[in-house]
Amino acid sequence: MAIDIVGYLKSLTAECNAQKDRVRHFIGLNHLLSDGAWKESVLRAMISRTMPATYAVASGFVVTEDEVSTQIDVLIYDTSIPVLYKGGDLVFVPPAACVAIIEVKSRLNATQFRNATQKLADICDLVKRYEPQKRLFAGLFAYEQDGGNYQTLLEHIAAAANGSSQRVVNHAAIGNNTFIKYWPEHPDSGAEGYKTWHHYTLTDMAPGYFLHNLMSYLARENLIRGNNVWFPGDGKEARCDGTEALIAAAPPAPEPAALEPRQTD
């Protein structure tokens, strides 16, 4: 009997929806910080169920000798590298230990999407300045979507990168249906240098795709190996709504040549 991977991915979405407002039922809208912290913990718990034992998940900060990142809602780090400090669910790690950073939102409109991708891109830039060759999963996860068409979202996520591969936010799931993925290589041909975001409408499967893409990233894209139990066999490219390429920022204009003083007789 073949497994029903589509049904399973949809069940992950249903699980997210069932848990996301559990705290709000008790406290209403009077303690939004606690409600937000609960939603972050829900995602961390779902990640930890299938994450390889070589990694750990918490919230925390990336710390360098000169700078500290903003707080990261979901931070996955390599347990083979010492952390600077860990207490409860809070951890401080060097760039070398950072494997994945995820920003979690209850609800997201286009403006909030722009601000969140900018924040993530800044953290990516910090990590890559010290670890330029590091593979880094940078994702945005929102339980609900509040407007924003695919063109606007793609423009915002590309603008956050500012033409630099070091600032790429490579995954986003917004609500039940919206999924965005950055492809360094072409998804069909495998051609290198593609460097393009794709926006997909995946009905009731976006959270599941986000989680399984994270696992694929942690496994260095070696999940399938002829036994695809992680994604639907027909793929998702038929449900791609639009694309946006990473465009290298234009170099600064050269300084105008200084005028030589005019000689007079």
**pLDDT for position 224:** 58
d(CA 9, CA 207): 8
Predicted confidence band at 197 (pLDDT cuts at 50, 70, 90)? very high
Mean pLDDT of 170-192: 95
pTM, full prediction: 0.88
CA 265 to chain centroid, in Å, comes to 68
Predicted confidence band at 265 (pLDDT cuts at 50, 70, 90)? very low
d(CA 199, CA 173): 10
Tens-digit pLDDT profile for residues 16-42 = 988 877 666 565 555 555 667 888 999
**pLDDT for position 229:** 76
Tens-digit pLDDT profile for residues 108-165 = 999 999 999 999 999 999 999 999 999 999 999 999 998 879 999 999 999 999 999 9
CA angle 181, 183, 184 (to 5 degrees): 145
Is residue 241 a contact partner of residue 199, using CB atoms and an 8 Å limit? yes
pLDDT at 246 over 80: yes
